[in-house]
């Protein structure tokens, strides 16, 4: 049910909600005790004959076996890295690490020596699990190559040694007592600014946030999440998986994103929910299998990570005959801080990221005073509550910059709040463009450009300008089947929606955007390419002080 309060300023007092003092382990054990034979986990590999399934009773037993094997080699509190693609083994290992009172360090399997060296050193990882090789790359060889540079790293265990590893556990070993406030994962930020930081996340934050997201997306008891998000990302490795288990449901894990396999999994396992970034969703909607698969079980598609154009929301609802829910948040907040409900209006689904989740305090703050700004005015989004991270691991200065003395976590996002508490995202603080002394928010322009039928994605950045300080540059990818529109047509289209001074001066059309694996566009790479000259513009709209004046800046 929508919270129908009427606000007077951009401050949201925490909505009462059911926040439970439980761990991930408690959640799984509760499900195993109440629905032991219900399906908890499916390893949905491409070969249907090789797929495996776990009931809740089997899942908890296997996770406990992993925990005891870990305790034979490591101590509670040790950091254990997983450097691997999606698989059910990844998930069972994750839960075993939690039951052993250890801390997961989730690593992108695309990392190479420089990245691995940094993250393993920074996290002081005591052990690492990985396949011997992946997609032809010698993963074990690379870890062995840098092992001597990581003083904390005591054990390297490959998935090929899995059964031997399990056999070393003491079946009678007692598992440690875990607190809901204990750190369960160190999740490294995805690199939209180029410098990863390890956010320390706790059991209570992950379990409750995931449950609230599932409930706001309309998931009932026994729902089925079909997941193609990478497990090293908070969307796959917490929001969806923990959400499924909080509803005593089923988590279907795909080895990678493949629109054909995703559609088949919905049909085979009667999937009810999925979290996909916009690029995944577009690929799924464009796939020829879409119309021949029985998707009648599908209830809700959730999306976020990147801006979700209104046209994509409408297209999804029309083609899939399902509900839609848009998520907004970041790793430091255990994944999600606000979300649209499936019952929200079409306008709110298209233009907002919903109201804050339960028991979360949120304000739109003046960047100078820290006080809430007036309704519908831009400011920095700040949140406070159980969902905030503990801090960045071994980065006290960065933690103090992000979480202030009053406990407010500064998200670095610019947004606004209406009188109902619905949020709109204007962009990142670091992405804001200052043109002729005016603050311009890229998200608004990106949304307007994205409404053009020929445009799939738009990324708007500031380009240095000697007269105006900065000018606006739009980098665009085209929708499938469309030719590049004339800039004059795009400009006319934009000026029917936004003020003239927000119209891009520079335009570049590209085949693909630099993006993180979760789909977030890496604008810092685009800015670097402009600055080093490797990104040249396809079109420059001529402006002058006379032309621009006060009416057309």
Least confident of 23-27, 224-228, 389-393, 456-460: 456-460
Least confident of 80-94, 198-212, 347-361: 347-361
Q: Residue 308's pLDDT is what?
A: 78
Do strands 423-428 and 300-303 pair parallel, antiparallel, or not at all (unpaired)? Answer: unpaired
Per DSSP, what are the bridge partners of residue 380? 365, 414
d(CA 372, CA 382): 10
Q: Residue 542's pLDDT is what?
A: 64
Of 320, 325, 319, nearest to 343 (Cα)? 325
Q: Is the pLDDT of residue 546 over 50?
A: no
515 φ, ψ to 5°? -145, 155
If you ran DSSP here, which 8-state letter would residue 448 be given?
H
Neighbours of 317 (CB within 10 A): 15
All domains of the chain in start order, with CATH: 11-417 (3.40.50.12780), 432-548 (3.30.300.30)
d(CA 307, CA 427): 10
191 pLDDT band, cuts 50/70/90, is: low
CA 526 vs CA 64, 360, 461, 493: distances in Å: 46, 34, 8, 24
Q: Is the pLDDT of residue 480 over 80?
A: yes
Q: Residue 440's pLDDT is what?
A: 84
Q: Is the pLDDT of residue 552 over 50?
A: no
Q: Residue 343's pLDDT is what?
A: 92
In this predicted model, what pLDDT tens digit does every residue of 425-442 receive, in sequence order? 887 788 888 887 777 888
d(CA 91, CA 456): 34
Q: Please, what's the b/e burial string for 338-368 (b: 16 or more CB within 10 A of its CB; e: otherwise)?
A: bbbbbebeeebbbbbbbbbbbbbbbbbbbee
CA 402 vs CA 196, 273, 384: distances in Å: 14, 33, 12
If you ran DSSP here, which 8-state letter would residue 373 be given?
P
d(CA 252, CA 261): 12
d(CA 69, CA 302): 36
Helices and strands per DSSP (H, E), number in the chain:
18, 29
The percent of residues in the chain predicted with pLDDT above 90, rounded, is: 76
Least confident of 76-80, 399-403, 466-470, 482-486: 466-470
If you ran DSSP here, which 8-state letter would residue 340 be given?
-
Neighbours of 18 (CB within 10 A): 10
Measure CA 197 to chain center: 15
In this predicted model, what pLDDT tens digit does every residue of 3-22 receive, in sequence order? 777 899 999 999 777 899 99
Q: Which residues contact 477 (CB under 8 A, 6 or more apart)?
A: 455, 456, 457, 458, 509, 510, 511, 512, 513
Q: Residue 312's pLDDT is what?
A: 86
Q: Residue 307's pLDDT is what?
A: 63
Averaged pLDDT, 59-79: 98
Q: Please, what's the b/e burial string for 76-114 (b: 16 or more CB within 10 A of its CB; e: otherwise)?
A: bebbbbbbbbbbbbbbbbbbbbbbbbbbbbbbbbebeee
Of 165, 159, 150, nearest to 132 (Cα)? 159
Q: Residue 279's pLDDT is what?
A: 81
In this predicted model, what pLDDT tens digit does every residue of 55-65 receive, in sequence order? 999 999 999 99
Averaged pLDDT, 512-540: 85
In this predicted model, what pLDDT tens digit does every residue of 34-52 receive, in sequence order? 999 999 999 999 999 999 9
d(CA 160, CA 330): 34
Averaged pLDDT, 19-29: 97
Q: Residue 262's pLDDT is what?
A: 98
Burial level of 453, CB count in 10 A (0-12/13-18/19+)? exposed
In this predicted model, what pLDDT tens digit does every residue of 120-166 receive, in sequence order? 999 999 999 999 999 999 999 999 999 999 999 999 999 999 999 99
Q: Do 209 and 335 contact (CB within 8 A), yes or no?
A: yes
- Rounded to 5°, the CA angle 350-356-362 comes to 125
Least confident of 91-95, 373-377, 512-516: 512-516
Of 284, 279, 326, 333, nearest to 301 (Cα)? 326
Q: Is the pLDDT of residue 545 over 60?
A: no
Rg (CA), the chain: 24
Cα diameter, the chain: 82
Q: Residue 550's pLDDT is what?
A: 29
H-helix segments, 330-415: 346-351, 396-402
Side-chain-side CA neighbours of residue 446 (13 Å): 27
Q: Residue 54's pLDDT is what?
A: 99
Q: Do 91 and 118 contact (CB within 8 A), yes or no?
A: no
In this predicted model, what pLDDT tens digit does every residue of 305-342 receive, in sequence order? 666 778 888 899 999 999 999 999 999 999 999 999 99
SS (H, E, C) 309-323: CHHHHHHHHHHHCCE
Q: Residue 466's pLDDT is what?
A: 75
In this predicted model, what pLDDT tens digit does every residue of 195-232 receive, in sequence order? 689 999 999 999 999 999 999 999 999 999 999 999 99
Q: Is the pLDDT of residue 551 over 60?
A: no
366 pLDDT band, cuts 50/70/90, is: very high
């Amino acid at each position: 049910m929508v919270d129908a309060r009427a606000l007077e300023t951009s401050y949201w007092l925490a909505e009462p909600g059911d926040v439970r003092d439980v761990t991930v382990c408690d959640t799984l054990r509760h499900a195993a005790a109440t629905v032991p034979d219900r399906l908890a986990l499916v390893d949905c590999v491409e070969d249907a004959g090789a797929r495996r399934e776990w009931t809740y009773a089997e899942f908890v037993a296997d996770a406990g076996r992993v925990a005891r094997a870990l305790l034979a080699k490591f101590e509670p509190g040790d950091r254990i890295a997983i450097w691997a693609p999606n698989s059910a083994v990844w998930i069972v290992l994750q839960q075993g690490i939690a039951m052993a009172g250890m801390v997961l360090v989730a690593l992108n399997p695309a990392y190479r020596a420089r990245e691995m060296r940094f993250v393993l050193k920074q996290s002081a990882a005591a052990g690492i699990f990985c396949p011997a090789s992946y997609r032809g790359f010698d993963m074990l060889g690379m870890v062995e190559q840098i092992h001597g540079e990581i003083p904390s790293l005591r054990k390297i265990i490959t998935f090929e040694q899995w059964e031997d590893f399990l056999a070393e556990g003491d079946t009678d070993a007692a598992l440690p007592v875990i607190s809901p406030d204990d750190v369960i994962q160190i999740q490294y930020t995805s690199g939209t600014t180029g410098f990863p930081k390890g956010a320390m996340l706790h059991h209570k934050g992950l379990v409750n946030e995931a449950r609230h997201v599932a409930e706001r997306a309309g998931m009932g008891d026994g729902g089925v999440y079909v997941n193609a998000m990478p497990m090293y990302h908070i969307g796959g490795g917490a929001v969806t998986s923990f959400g499924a288990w909080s509803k005593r449901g089923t988590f279907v894990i795909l080895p990678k994103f493949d629109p054909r396999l995703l559609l088949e999994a919905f049909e085979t396992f009667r999937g009810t929910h999925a979290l996909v970034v916009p690029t995944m969703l577009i690929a799924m909607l464009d796939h020829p299998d879409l119309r021949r698969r029985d998707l009648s079980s599908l209830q809700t598609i959730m999306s976020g990570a990147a801006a979700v154009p209104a046209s994509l929301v409408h297209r999804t609802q029309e083609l899939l005959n399902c509900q839609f829910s848009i998520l907004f948040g970041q790793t430091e907040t255990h994944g999600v801080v606000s979300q649209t409900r499936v019952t929200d209006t079409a306008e709110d689904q298209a233009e907002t990221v919903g109201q804050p989740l339960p028991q979360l305090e949120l304000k739109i703050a003046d960047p100078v005073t820290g006080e809430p700004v007036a309704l519908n005015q831009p400011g920095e989004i700040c949140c406070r509550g159980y969902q905030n991270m503990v801090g960045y691991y071994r980065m006290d200065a960065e933690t103090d910059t992000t979480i202030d003395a009053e406990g407010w976590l500064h998200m670095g996002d610019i947004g606004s709040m209406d009188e109902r508490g619905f949020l709109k995202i204007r962009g990142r603080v670091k992405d804001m463009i200052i043109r002729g002394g005016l603050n311009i928010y890229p998200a608004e322009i990106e949304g307007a450009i994205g409404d053009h039928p020929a445009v799939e994605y738009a990324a708007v950045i500031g380009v240095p300008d000697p007269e105006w300080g900065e000018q606006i540059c739009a980098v665009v990818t085209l929708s499938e089947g469309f030719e590049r529109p004339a800039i004059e047509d795009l400009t006319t289209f934009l000026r029917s929606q936004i003020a003239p001074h927000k119209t891009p001066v520079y335009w570049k059309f590209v085949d693909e955007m630099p993006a993180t694996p979760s789909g977030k566009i890496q604008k810092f790479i685009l800015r670097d390419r402009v600055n080093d000259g490797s990104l040249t513009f396809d079109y420059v709209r001529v402006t002058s002080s006379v032309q621009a004046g006060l009416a057309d800046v």
